[in-house]
Amino acid sequence: MSLYERQYGYTRLRVTVLVTELWLGVVFVLLVVAIDPARTWPGRTWSGSATPGEST
């Protein structure tokens, strides 16, 4: 997508989509932190998903 944007430039729609994606990413991270603030970030969050069959 970045190659396409370099060739044709940014439009209002592309900038809006980019800002929306960044905003949703920030909201997601804040929700994860708010749900379990005692969790060691990012250690247990990602290591638990990488070990199938083992419950954390």
Q: What pLDDT is attached to residue 11?
A: 86
User: Apex CA 28: angle with CA 24 and CA 32, to 5°?
Assistant: 170
Taking residues 6-13, report their average pLDDT: 85
Q: What pLDDT is attached to residue 18?
A: 87
Closest CA to 32 of 7, 49, 15, 13: 49
Residues 13-52 have pLDDT tens digits of: 888 988 999 999 999 988 887 877 666 656 555 555 555 5
Q: What pLDDT is attached to residue 34?
A: 80
User: Apex CA 12: angle with CA 7 and CA 14, to 5°?
Assistant: 55
Residue 30 C-alpha from the chain's centroid: 10
Which secondary structure element, helix H or strand E, spans residue 25, and what is its range?
Answer: helix 12-35
